[in-house]
Each structure stands twice: as structure tokens, then as C-alpha cells.
Structure 1
Amino acid sequence: MPIGIKRVYDEAEPQDGARILVDRLWPRGISKDKAAFAEWMKELAPTTALRQWFDHRPERWAEFQTRYREELRENPLVDTLRERAKTETITLLYGSRNREFNHAKVLADFLLET
């Protein structure tokens, strides 16, 4: 089950497969054409409250992952995306500047766990 992760600002490549934007908010400064994504699944992003609490603060990363995983367990779109990843390559797109501490990494790991 290949699942890639990229910033939405990164250049699209053929090996990306289906590029799926997983941010709740539209990424700043990029057009839909430039983003080159197949689908926008904003409902898979962390809730607004969780995103604002985390605020990309590394000291909150562990707790953010725990809270976000709890949200994902209740989200029916997770199963939809997991099934899709079994038959095609997908790349999760996110807008954050931080490549290390972002929700797309948590989502990708969560999809691969079961």
C-alpha cells in the first residue's frame, strides 16, 4: 500500500499517483491548477480546535498525534482512503512549512497500521 506525503507546493510527479489534499484550509498562494490534486478530502484534516491548539509547536507533537489519531478512529473517510490505497498509489498533500511535524505524516502512518 504505497502512500506518499508531499507539500502541496512541491512539483507534481508521475510517481505521486492520486494526489489528495488533506488540509482543512486552502493552502495560501497556490492555485488549483498549480496544486495538481485529484481530490480534496478536508474532512480528514485535524479539527480546527486541534489544529489551533497544536500550532506547529514541537513540544506538543506527541499529544497532537494522540488526539489526532482519536479523531481519525471516528472518521469514516479513513476506511475509504485506506481501501483506495490498496489499489492505487496515493500521495497526501499538506500545506504546512514544517515537513517533520505535520498531520499528513500521522494520517499516512494511521492508514498503514491496519
Structure 2
Amino acid sequence: MVAGRNIRLKRIYDPPEPGDGARILVDRLWPRGISKERAALTAWFKDVAPSTALRRWFGHEPSRWPAFREKYRAELEHRPEALAALHELAGRGPLTLLFAARDEAHNEAVVLRDVLLEDGGHRGAAGNATAPPAPAPGARRRR
């Protein structure tokens, strides 16, 4: 793990805990049956989620997991601002990536955490380390 990075994964249906730190929903769609109050989000990063086409193709089929990981990583390369904002949040303290999928081992949050931990720093549009922008495009703040 990158020094100073405490990135957790959690189903949004699990109750918030004091150690969660920044709670970021990384799904493109709002999870069924969850109120905004119950979610207790710091922000909703829709734009960091897999594209609708990729999400539908994957369909949470474990046999498609290796290809999904590769395709989603390729999509993330085109979202440096959102990744930089997540790096910035992770640098401030614990970061919990929230997802709705039942499968806790095969979902976008797993890939996203791995990318954040492997990056070792923020990425700018050209792939260079930069100061993260705030807020990230597509990030929705809790009101």
C-alpha cells in the first residue's frame, strides 16, 4: 500500500462508521433503497464509474472480470481530474469507496482502489504529477 493511503471498500448498504473518513459513491446509478441521509456521502463521483456500455457488458459476470478490469482501467486513463480528486481525498485521511454490487470481489471499486494505490501520486491530463483540482467534474456534494 502506498504510504499514508487508507483506502477502504464498502457496500453502500452497510452502515457508516466513524473510521470511514471521506465516503465516496463510485457507482454511476444511485443505489436502490438508499436515502441520501442513510448514505452519509461526502460526494458522489459518477464520472469515475465505468461507462454505461461497460457496466452493462460486464453484468457482474465473474468470467468477464479480467477483461472488465482492463477495459475499466483504460476508461480511467481518460478521467485524470476525478482520479486526482480521489488522491487528494485519500491524502487527507481515510477514504471509503462505496459501491452497490453484491459481489464484493468483482466490482468497479476494487479496480479503482487498485489504480489509486498503484498510482503513487496524482495524475494530470498529461499523466504528470499535479495538484488535484477541486471539485472533480461530476462530483456531487452532499447537501
Same fold (TM over 0.5): yes
CA RMSD of aligned residues (A): 0.7
Query: Structure 1: where are the runs of 5+ without partners?
Result: none
| Matched residue, 2:85 | 80
| Correspondence for 2:108 among 94, 100, 103 | 103
| Matched residue, 1:53 | 57
* Regions of 4+ moved over 2 Å: none
| Correspondence for 1:2 among 2, 6, 11 | 6
1:83 positional shift: 2.1
Normalising to structure 2: TM-score of the pair? 0.78
| Higher helix proportion | 1
| Matched residue, 2:25 | 21
RCO comparison, higher one (Cα < 8 Å, 6+): 1
Query: Structure 2: where are the runs of 5+ without partners?
Result: 120-143
Counterpart contact for 2:22–2:89, Cα < 8 Å: no
1:91 aligns with 2:96: yes
In the comparison of the two structures, how many residue pairs are matched? 114
1:100 positional shift: 1.2
Q: Distance in 1 between matches of 2:44 and 2:114?
A: 19
1:18 positional shift: 0.8
Q: Name the SS of the counterpart of 1:104 in structure 2.
A: helix
Q: Name the SS of the counterpart of 2:24 in structure 1.
A: strand
Q: Name the SS of the counterpart of 2:60 in structure 1.
A: coil
Q: Name the SS of the counterpart of 2:8 in structure 1.
A: strand
| Matched residue, 2:129 | none
| Correspondence for 2:74 among 70, 84, 109 | 70
Counterpart contact for 2:28–2:47, Cα < 8 Å: yes
